[in-house]
Amino acid sequence: MSGLSLSLGVGLTRRGGGGGAGIPSIASAVYWGDFSDTSKVSLSSGKITGLANRLGGALTFSQGNSSLQPTYQLASEGNGINGLNTCRFTSATQKLQLNTAVMTNATIIIALRNTANLVSGGIIQSSTDNFAGLFIAAGAGSNQPAGTSDNFVDGVDIANSRQGTLEALTSSPVLWMVRNLDITTWGQSSIGITELFLGAFRNNSTDFAFTGGDMGEIVVMNASSVAEQNALGAYLSEKWGTATWTDVS
């Protein structure tokens, strides 16, 4: 895709994106959403109603409530990340929702940028008031469920704390990754989690905070290997212009 400038319709141009590396084959991926791939994005008056899985199938991040739909950011209008179209969450309740299979060893990697420089928010969250990637200045507690899960920014292991996550999410784009996430226990529910919310988090059963920024690409994997995580990190870091991916172990 290096140097590609391809007109895709009125006001929609896919261009930029670093590097010439091909898309890696990630066998463990169950959902792969790319906001820069306009063919996978469905819109309603500039608001995003859905992001289809580039791997195929019915699994789709979607939002049927008009008041909750995030906006589509066009690189052709000087927005987006690294010359690529993105999704922007700008309202306290905007979110996309994925009805997903329950996974016991999920890894989620997202290219994102904290454009609003918020001191409170969440990246991804379950349907039962739990979360991952929560960030709050000097906030107490972890930023994701207790257990073996761990999180990284650009491949660098960061503190599993809300303050640590806040410091890692800057106005520059990053690759945020959480792994070893047991979604069956995430929401402390006997039925497990069947929905993931992107861009907002819930507390006391109500939406109230958000990422406040741009998201470019999200990959959800089940029982991924370290080799897959590193291949994906290297590919996405080059594509989205984030810091060079540091291989995880």
List contacts with other proteins (CB under 8 A): 8-10, 12, 38-39, 41-45, 47, 49-50, 52, 60, 62-69, 72, 85, 91-93, 120, 129, 131, 134, 136, 139-140, 201, 203-209
Q: Which residue has the tokens 């991040």?
A: 61
Query: Is residue 12 within 8 Å of residue 35, measured between CB atoms?
Result: no
Measured from the CB of residue 136, what is the shortest distance to other proteins in angstroms?
Answer: 6
Q: Name the strand (E) or helix (H) holding 5.
A: strand 5-7
Nearer to other proteins, 89 or 235 (CB): 89
Measured from the CB of residue 110, what is the shortest distance to other proteins in angstroms?
Answer: 20
SS3 label, residue 235: helix
Nearer to other proteins, 72 or 245 (CB): 72
Measured from the CB of residue 92, what is the shortest distance to other proteins in angstroms?
Answer: 5
Nearer to other proteins, 1 or 231 (CB): 1
Per-residue tokens: 99: 């009805």
Longest dimension (CA), the chain: 49
- Region of 114 on the Ramachandran plot (φ > 0 left; ψ -120 to 50 alpha; else beta): beta
Distance from the Cα of residue 74 to its chain's centroid: 18
Nearer to other proteins, 82 or 126 (CB): 126
Q: Identify the burial level of 4 via C-beta atoms within 10 angstroms of its C-beta, where 0-12 means exposed, 13-18 middle and 19 or more buried.
A: exposed
Measured between alpha carbons, how far is 131 from 188 in angstroms, rounded to an integer? 11
Nearer to other proteins, 43 or 102 (CB): 43
Per-residue tokens: 50: 């859905």
Measured from the CB of residue 38, what is the shortest distance to other proteins in angstroms?
Answer: 4
Query: Is residue 217 within 8 Å of residue 35, measured between CB atoms?
Result: yes
Measured from the CB of residue 42, what is the shortest distance to other proteins in angstroms?
Answer: 4
Measured from the CB of residue 109, what is the shortest distance to other proteins in angstroms?
Answer: 23
Measured between alpha carbons, how far is 86 from 34 in angstroms, rounded to an integer? 8
Nearer to other proteins, 62 or 230 (CB): 62
